[in-house]
Structure 1
Amino acid sequence: MLSLNSCTENIDDSDLYTFTGETMVDHFENDPENFSDYLTILGKVHPSKRSESTMLELLSARGNYTCFAPTNDAIKQYLDSLLLLNQVTSTDVNQIPDSIAESIVFNSIIENENEEAYSTTDFVEGALSRTNMNDRYINISYGNDVDGTSVVFVNVDSRIIVKDIEVTNGYIHAIDKVLSPSTATVGDLVMNTPNTSFFGRLLDITGWDDQLMDYRDEAYEDFEKAGEDVTEVVNGKNWDGRYPEHRYFGYTVFVETDSVFEEALGKGNLTVEALKNWLQTNGYYPDANYDDDYTSEDNVINQFVSYHLLPERLTWNRMVIFSNEKGFYNGAINDGTQFQTNVWEYYETMGKHRRTLKITGIKEGKRINRYSTMNLTTYREQSVEIPGVEINSTNGQYDNNAMNGYYYTINSLLLWGPDVYNKVLNERMRYDICALLPEIMTNNVRFNKTASWFFKSDYFDVIPSMSEETVFQYLPNTNNTGDAGQWTNYQTDEFNIKGVFDFTMKLPPVPYTGTYEIRYGVSANGNRGMAQIYLGTNPNNLPPVGLPLDLRVEGTTTSVGWVSDTDLGSDEAIDEKDKAMRNLGYMKGPKYFYPASGISGRDCRNCLRRIIFTGQLEAGETYYIRFKSVLQSSAEFFFDYLEIVPKTIYNGEVAEDKW
């Protein structure tokens, strides 16, 4: 029997529970002093509306669960608080409404399915990778108790008082406070947080708080395949997968605290007029209007706010993806703690003025719009000209996990200006396809290894059209380790599009008007598809560009001309081969990622980049790209990453690097 004597229980290795062969319910039944109320509530709750069994029965059987179990004292404290708010009429657990019981239970349990349940050794700061049964992320942070003892916090203020209680169907972590994540929208959460009041006011006067209200696509709830494991038959071949259970909307907001604004504008000078004058004086948003119509998206304050908003729910751990980048290919889970080199992701912000921000993961954390020079031998930072805006993983004592997204406080002003579009984004921009599809992150699909994933044809906002014959399937790397298991993929995952496909996708914006190359990441083999590509501004009438993209053509064919750098020998011979391949419309894969130990993308003969477009692109314009199969039978069309590269990089004074 465990003793949960007080809130000052030390969290150290001596607290590890000794495995006894119990199920979760066995453990709760054997410790009524601490878990009798939780046990009662489990018996009141059904796993779903369609289920006749209870959570008590579910946790009595086989399975794989992580349970953050509130003690009797924690439940009493929670129900007392609800009684004061008139949300319950009694603190008797037998009489609480079903909605309250469901909230307590669903927020406390993660169904890990075919993955291992979480012990504390799996925790890193930020959100756990799987959502709880209420489809909310559970956040982990670390701190110290009043006596200096190290503490693991769950959702900011609930402490694990006994950890790693191993049972036959998972792990239990006893907590001292019921997990009750905020039900506020992300805009309301910012506006009602004491140290973000000024940014909250900006959300209010610009009307952006009203644009951050959506939570769930109710029309998708009627989709008959939602949440189902299915076998899709494409040209007589079976493909297994799962459709997402829901289609949630999500948002991420980067927020300067009041103290950050005071540092820029002066203490006691937190006014909208002061910010507007500061932006104008310092030359930001030069084409914006400086009138008082803050709801206009042409207004400078409105544009300042919109550059802080992303249309997806990003957890701290998934803002950038540590996976198979250079230097990490040892077969272990890569969570960024064994840092080898910078990783990054590009995101389009909200609003009619289409803009991009770059988030870079460095050893010390995450930065927005960092500008550095990389050592071309080690591919580590050699010098840093613009450190970037630091993102905080939490807001201290205040909850940053809203019903429909997250906000993250930042340590300096986030601005769109010449340093961003002429320096930070004047580079080869490599986009993983997942970063272009906000729904992937918001709905916890990316790297969700419980299944490969299918999608309804209108699931993605940036794909305005998809033929009935097109089957989109997302394939996460099954082990998600630094060694991608011979997959020649950037960030170890891919889309595999099946059928006689035809789909159109919105491209991300370019930072400035100029000449660009667009490159398509290729993993060639004989089972792949072949597509004609179209590109332009009218998604309903796009002109074709170039020759068809044939993913069956392997690197060593004469039409590509791939030869390994090792066989070429000298730097001069390597550069000449690169030029010859470019003349054929191809490039070797990047050195940056590693499909296998010691083998970079550049070393793989079928890991290629095909140049699919070269031409003028306008800043602020919306471009679409269409892929239409030219084969009459179904094939697997590999879709992994795109590169958008300004001419200053691919044909500049200094040769483009091989990374």
Structure 2
Amino acid sequence: MKKFIKPAALLIVITLIVVGLSQCKKIKIATLTTDDANLVGYMEKYPETYSDFLKVLDKSGTYAYMNAYGTYTLFAPNNDAMKSYLQEIGKSSVDDLTADDCKTMVRYHVLIDTISTPSFTDGKLPVPTMYGEYLVTGINNENGVSRYIVNRRAIIVQPNIHTGNGILHTIDHVLVPSKKTLYQVISENSNYSIFTKALIETGYDGILKTLAYKNDTTPIWYTVLAQSDAVYANSKIYSYDDLKAKYKGVNVKDPKDSLNMYVGYHILTNLKFLADLVVTPAHETLVPQEVITVALKEQNVLLNYETDNGVTDSALVNRVYSDIACTNGVLHDINNNLYIKVRNPTPVYWDVAEQPEIMKLTSIFRKGGKGQTFQVGDLKDITWNAGTVEYYCNTPGAKDLFYWNDRLNFQYLKTTSGNMNWVELTTPLIIKGRYKVWVCWRANGGITGLGMQTWIDGVLMPRLWSFGDYNYGKYLTEAEVQAAGWKRYYVGASTADHMASKLVGTVEITTTGRHKIKFVTTEVSPKTQGCWLDMIHFIPENMDQYKPKFATDGSVVY
């Protein structure tokens, strides 16, 4: 079976929500534009709906803050929501809440960005709340009517109210921050008794009991893929002792012990909701160099999906019981036994514009005609010595045939002092093996970014290339282009001679993980022009190097 890894595809995330709606009535995306100056001004006009939450704003000391200029998204509980919440916690009115209680409530309901429901995905929102946690959105289907639901708790009863300083969504329940750690949520669920015992015996329970910090400032998050007792029973495992026997556990607290590795394989580094899992095809676990792969089949999120001799093996993420936010991470439930597999080299088709900082800019990322310029130090996975890096998404129908219609522009790659002489990128995760490496770009007419060297983990690739390479195969057949060490990687007419992809060499990736690729310009540039990079392909040397091809709408064509 042919398989490939594509670092992130917004199309996948969109598919998740579209499929989820396919059997329901269409959601009405209502949008209300108001002449009110701000969020507070709008709510003041409707005290019958928002008077209690306005009291919360006042008591928290944030009334003036939310009354000021800015770009916010506010999930505002209506009066019925406030009344229900106060009864739930044994309070009679907002007056019984402390100022700190009110501050926490406000911070948990506000995002510093403007996000309307068409930008929602079936999973976490792209930016966290001011409280620091991510909200999770989904679809609630009731009596044939579909509406958005937040954190599986609050239905949006009036979405997309546009005000002078942000967007307001009215909700029917108060949102409540996570109060339990991963270990608490897992251990308190009797369905996870075997998995809980395995965490305790191997010592992994310790890291899941608290939120730790790196350098006292950066939270250390974990993502746990938990298996229920019923899932173990399907594998004839009825107790922890059965699990220990199956994986031949001896000194189970030893990281090299097979049972310890099995349990560590169920814990991913960082915070990964379903939306994060599907946009990155492979994820590191706590077991060194052992990864979990992710595939999306229709609406199903599958882990370690493989077909061998007609037999398919995978673990399905149970979406109903997943995306459970905890104080130190997120919990997912899976329906099959997840175990360490032998990994073969797998293609990575990398859209270099998929940088975390860029993808969070929801009003810009993959929005036609939108762009953003970044200075040295702005992007954690791209470093350069001088100049700027620009992200830009072309308007539909543009001449260029960039994958997803967007690219990075390195301004400006020249050998002279004070200009960008080099740029280094951190790759997505690559499974160890031998790969042919292809660089894909839009030519600039032979002006800037000439004589480019490619270094991978300090190893120089044998072939130079230039952003100026142009007209390389306009009148050649596919076979003639490929024979010269080039390929047409794009979907479109062969006369799109300004889109180029060149084989720069073969590299031995010795460890599974993320790696460094560095481009250095070595030839004098006569003028100054943009250097537009689209994709980088790492393809196992024994696989087809010329398929698939990539389209401006994000589709992949074989």
**1:647 shift after superposition:** 2.4
**CA distance in structure 1 between the partners assigned to 2:363 and 2:388 by the alignment:** 13
Is 1:32 aligned to residue 54 of structure 2? Answer: no
Shift of 1:39: 0.6
Which position in structure 1 is the counterpart of 2:281? Answer: 346
- 1:164: Cα distance to partner? 5.2
| C-alpha distance after superposition, 1:467-522 (max 9, x if no partner) | 6x24674626388xxx4855543345444445434465565665455x32122232
How far has the Cα of 1:657 moved from its partner? 5.7
- Structure 1 regions of 5+ residues with no counterpart? 1-10, 48-52, 84-89, 222-246, 280-289, 322-344, 374-382, 537-541, 592-598
Letter in 2 for 1:413: N
Within a 5 Å distance, the mapping from 1:234-633 to structure 2 comes to: 250-266=221-237, 269-271=238-240, 273-279=241-247, 290-320=248-278, 345-351=280-286, 353-371=288-306, 386=312, 388-395=314-321, 400-403=324-327, 405-418=329-342, 421-422=343-344, 426-433=345-352, 447=365, 452=372, 454=374, 457=377, 460=380, 466=383, 469-470=385-386, 473=389, 475=391, 477=393, 483=396, 485=398, 488-498=401-411, 499-502=419-422, 511=431, 513=433, 515-525=434-444, 526-528=447-449, 531-536=452-457, 542-554=458-470, 556=471, 561-563=472-474, 568=476, 573-579=477-483, 581-582=484-485, 586-591=486-491, 599=492, 604-618=496-510, 624-630=516-522
Contact persistence 1:251–1:311 (CA under 8 A): yes
Query: Secondary structure at the residue paired with 1:38?
Result: helix
The alpha-carbon deviation at position 203 of structure 1 amounts to 4.1
Please tell me the residue identity of whatever aligns with 1:521: C
For residues 50-61 of structure 1, what are the structure 2 equivalents within 5 Å? 54-58=64-68
CA distance in 1, matches of 2:258, 2:358: 31
SS of residue in 1 equivalent to 2:319: coil
Cα distance, 1:629–1:348 mapped onto 2, change above 3 Å: farther
CA spacing shift, 1:312–1:360, aligned 2, 3 Å: same
Number of the residue aligned with 2:85? 78
Q: What TM-score do the two structures reach when normalised by structure 2?
A: 0.74
- Cα displacement (A) at 1:305: 3.4
Q: Please state how far the C-alpha of 1:155 moved relative to its aligned partner.
A: 0.6
Instruction: Supply the AA of the counterpart residue of 1:519.
Output: W
Counterpart-to-counterpart distance in 1, 2:187 and 2:388: 39
User: Match for 1:126 among 123, 128, 135?
Assistant: 123
Taking structure 1 as reference, are residues 172 and 318 closer, same or farther at Cα in structure 2, changes over 3 Å only? same
In the TM superposition, what is the alpha-carbon distance from 1:294 to its structure 2 partner? Answer: 3.2
Q: What letter corresponds to residue 152 of structure 2 in structure 1?
A: V
Instruction: Please name the residue that 2:107 is paired with.
Output: 106
- Counterpart-to-counterpart distance in 2, 1:391 and 1:407: 11
Once residues 15 and 604 of structure 1 are traced to their aligned partners in structure 2, the CA distance between those partners, rounded to angstroms, is 38
Q: Give SS of 1:254's match.
A: strand
CA drift at 1:202: 3.8
AA at the equivalent of 1:127: K
Per-residue CA distance 1:99-145 (angstroms, 9 max, x = gap) = 322221122233444xxx524x6545323344433343322223355
Structure 1 window deviating more from structure 2 (500-509 vs 363-372): it is 500-509
Determine the C-alpha separation between the residues in 2 that align with 1:638 and 1:189: 47
Change in Cα spacing, 1:446 to 1:25, as seen in structure 2 (3 Å) is closer
> 2-side partners of 1:165 and 1:445: how far apart?
17
Match of residue 335 from structure 1 = none
* Distance in 2 separating the partners of 1:210 and 1:632: 57
Q: Tell me, which stretches of 5 or more residues in structure 2 are unaligned?
A: 1-24, 412-418, 550-557
Q: Is the 2:348–2:430 contact (alpha carbons within 8 Å) kept by the matching residues of 1?
A: no
Of the three residues 49, 58, 69, the one matched with 2:76 is 69
Q: Is the 8 A contact 1:69 1:173 kept in 2?
A: yes
**For 2:151 and 2:373, how far apart are their aligned partners in 1?**
29
User: Is the 1:470–1:503 contact (alpha carbons within 8 Å) kept by the matching residues of 2?
Assistant: no
Moved over 6 A (4+): 11-20, 215-219, 437-446, 448-451, 632-635
Q: Match of 1:31, as an amino acid?
A: Y
Do the aligned residues in 2 keep the contact of 1:250 with 1:442 (CA within 8 Å)? Answer: no
CA-to-partner distance for each residue in 1:413-443, whole Å, 9 max, x for gaps? 233324xx24xxx5433233467x7787799
Amino acid paired to 1:409: D
- State the distance in 2 between where 1:350 and 1:549 align: 36
For residues 625 and 75 of structure 1, the distance between their equivalents in structure 2, rounded to whole angstroms, comes to 53
1:561-613 CA-partner distances (Å, limit 9, x unpaired): 323xxx55xxxx4324322x22xxx322244xxxxxxx37x763233333223
Q: 1:18 to 1:630 in 2, by over 3 A?
A: closer
* 3-state SS, counterpart of residue 76 of structure 2: strand
Give the deviation of 1:618 after TM superposition.
Answer: 3.5
Query: Which secondary structure state, in structure 2, belongs to the residue aligned with residue 132 of structure 1?
Result: coil
Higher alpha-carbon deviation: 628-637 or 307-316: 628-637
SS at match of 1:648: coil
Q: Specify the SS of the correspondent of 1:140.
A: strand
Q: 1:497 to 1:180 in 2, by over 3 A?
A: farther
Structure 1 residues 433 and 124: CA distance shift in structure 2, 3 A? closer
The answer to whether the 8 Å contact 2:27/2:146 transfers is no
Q: Could you tell me how far 1:349 is from its partner in structure 2? A: 0.9
In the alignment, the residues of structure 2 paired with residue 190 and residue 529 of structure 1 have an alpha-carbon distance, to the nearest angstrom, of 55
Given that residues 265 and 275 in structure 1 are in contact (C-alpha distance below 8 angstroms), is that contact kept between their aligned partners in structure 2?
no
Question: 2:430, 2:514 within 8 Å by CA — same for their partners in 1?
Answer: no
1: CA distance, partners of 2:338 / 2:283: 14
